[in-house]
Structure 1
Amino acid sequence: MSQKNSKVIGITAVVIIAIVAFIFFQNKETDQPNTSAQSKDSKTIVIAYQTGVDPSKVAQANGEYEKDSQKNIQWKKFDTGSDVVNALASGDVVIGNIGSSPYAAATSRDVPIQTFLITSKLGSSEAFVVREKSGIKTPQDLVGKTIAVPFVSTTHYSLLAALKHWNIAENSVKIVNLRPPEITAAWERGDIDATYVWEPALSKAKASGTVFADSRQVGQWGSPTYDLWVVRKDFAEQHPDFLRSFVKTTLKQIDSYNNDPKAFSNPENVEKIAQLTGSDTKDIPLLLSGNEYLNQSQQITTLNGEFAKNILDTATFLKGQGKVDQVKPDYKEHISSKFIQ
């Protein structure tokens, strides 16, 4: 056989092997599950949380949301609800923990989110504190004083509601927009006379201040506030099973706390909550007891009942204060209890 023929046979053999290999691997790929779908399904879910104290922080610290859902989760900490809303609007996060006031403002602007779970009905975990050296002894002493609060937060709403209850005009006090870490720094410098805030800034203010009112009292005056879990609508449509798992994990912690608050507030759980929130461990049992945590049936009843009106009232109040431009006829399209069923 000539050298030329040997080359032709060799090249032909290589081509045949390549074709067979191509067919083999094509068939093998066809037999495999859709790997791109698997990758999409296993994509990390980004969730925004804040530093409020509630039972679900234990599940977060233990990695129970990941275990129960079998999904990868990236938890991102935010200082204010308005920051969380911005992240939800941009798609940087798909689930977020925010208060009812920023939620009312966001849904009034048609940010595509919906409440699917109530974290808590707020009580003493958010409070209005005045500095001991400020000379403030009665609500009327607030006139002319400087009060710090994160704007369009639940505490901002509660502060304005409290001033209205005390018949104090908003323009008779100086209200400054500061995030909780900035409030702590301003408080330590003596730049502010009072603040309405949550943990961990709240405990730091209370160390040298007096509580004038908390969100439980303001709620009794007719302006209740909530901490909420909200989700982008597109994510909710595509991942209902994840939301059901998320709800189940959260309600398990709520039931555990409600069944025996003292047992739940053991040193191990308290330490886990402290690490996530930055609160002092000694304050956490009291902070936990300051809010109301709704069980499954209470969640469904509230979300399908009074909640929409509470949000409408909040939005109406915010519009009256010039904090939002419009109010919707109702907010039911932004509320869903189907993941709790």
Structure 2
Amino acid sequence: MKKLTAKIVLILVIAVLSVALMGCENGGTEGELPKEVNIGYLRVPNDEMVAKTMGIYDQYFTDQGITCNFIIFDSGVDANKALASGSIDFATMGNTNGIIALSSGLDVELIWIHEVLGKIEGLAVKNGSNINSAENLKGQKIATPFASTAHYSLLNYLKEAGIENDVELLDMQTQDIVAAWERGDIQAAYSWQPTLGELLKNGSMLVSSEEMAEKGYVTANVCLVRKEFSGKYPELVANFIKCLSEGGDTYRRDGQQSAAAVAKELEITPEEALLQMEGSLWLTPQEALGADYMGTTDTPGHFSKIMKDTADFLQTQHSIEISPSQEAFDAFINPIYIEMSLEN
């Protein structure tokens, strides 16, 4: 009887070890960290750029043996493709592309608002074009990256002016906008910094996203994460939020130093960088959890309603086929990782 019991125990031990080994072969045991993290980002002067240029990511990832791979995306369209393929884990994009991600059924969630867009984004008109008002835009070609926050703000600006059918919109990536502007192919473009700064060297701003926000058309740059990744590494995602939060705190403590670091990355002057950084609202974690923005895990914030209203508009413009329900947006915006970052 004792020998039989010993055999049973031995068999059980072997079975447990086999399962453990299979777990290691299929991606590691629970709590194990990944060897690398793939981060899709925009070349804009925000909290993420501060965290990247001032070594804040190193404190949380490199020092733990995790390699951070940074992949530049010119817009959220390509970032969504990369999320869909699983080639990136995190992605920064305008909230309009976040809506497209949800509407397209991507298995992602919104975990952070980088910045609420203000003067960092706007409609530039070329010097000498004689465009001084919305009315002067009639018959003009206006370039903007389609399905972006800039596109959304532009469409509403034209709609409010009653000239949405009197202009020709051109879908261009930001670097192409600058080239077309310099060639003289376009006299107007709605874009964001640092591209906007290039346009304003020989132009002026007709309207900014700050003014559009005051009219109720709020736009923001947000961060998405693949749910497969966040489900496997929730603490790592919380630390990622800490990096972004510290990037914001660093800027608030010393704007000049942060601007100098960002300027080098963006190949602009520190003065230009600081001006661009001051052109948007950077939220603290506590502000992000407030009723005006993401809210808490128990009570969704107003940003969810903004996302739904924006989705309804995008559907009327045929930018998306289906506008997700309010409940879907409430579930899509997940503040749990911000809450976790504040607990540790």
Q: TM-score scaled by structure 1? A: 0.85
**Are residue 89 (structure 1) and residue 84 (structure 2) matched?**
yes
**Are residue 309 (structure 1) and residue 298 (structure 2) matched?**
no
**Are residue 192 (structure 1) and residue 190 (structure 2) matched?**
no
CA distance in 1, matches of 2:116, 2:50: 18
Letter in 1 for 2:68: I
CA distance in 1, matches of 2:147, 2:315: 11
Q: TM-score scaled by structure 2? A: 0.84
Unaligned runs of 5+ in 2: 1-16, 296-300, 340-344
Counterparts of 1:152-191 in structure 2, within 5 Å, are 152-169=147-164, 171-191=165-185
CA distance in 1, matches of 2:53, 2:275: 20
The aligned residue for residue 199 of structure 2 is 205
Residues 94 and 219 in structure 2, CA contact (< 8 A), matched pair in contact too: yes
Larger radius of gyration: 1
CA RMSD of aligned residues (A): 2.2
Residues 124 and 215 in structure 1, CA contact (< 8 A), matched pair in contact too: yes
The aligned residue for residue 141 of structure 1 is 136
CA distance in 2, matches of 1:106, 1:249: 24
Unaligned runs of 5+ in 1: 1-26
CA deviation profile, 1:99-120 (whole Å, cap 9, x unmatched) = 1111112211211111101101
Distance 1:172 1:280, change over 3 A: farther
Counterparts of 1:1-20 in structure 2, within 5 Å, are none
CA distance in 1, matches of 2:56, 2:241: 12
Moved over 6 A (4+): none
Letter in 2 for 1:129: A
Letter in 1 for 2:285: Q
Letter in 1 for 2:247: Q
CA distance in 2, matches of 1:124, 1:88: 29
- Aligned with 2:231: secondary structure? helix
CA deviation profile, 1:107-156 (whole Å, cap 9, x unmatched) = 11211111101101111111110011222121101011010000001100
CA distance in 2, matches of 1:281, 1:264: 10
CA distance in 1, matches of 2:112, 2:289: 9
**Are residue 328 (structure 1) and residue 324 (structure 2) matched?**
yes
CA distance in 1, matches of 2:73, 2:115: 18
Matched length: 306
How far did residue 272 of structure 1 move? Answer: 2.1
CA deviation profile, 1:65-123 (whole Å, cap 9, x unmatched) = 13213221100011111111111111111100001111112211211111101101111
Counterparts of 1:70-89 in structure 2, within 5 Å, are 70=64, 71-89=66-84
Letter in 1 for 2:337: F
- Aligned with 2:338: secondary structure? coil
Which of 300, 303, 318 does residue 314 from structure 2 map onto? 318
CA distance in 2, matches of 1:164, 1:275: 39
The aligned residue for residue 272 of structure 1 is 261
Letter in 2 for 1:274: A
CA distance in 2, matches of 1:283, 1:164: 32
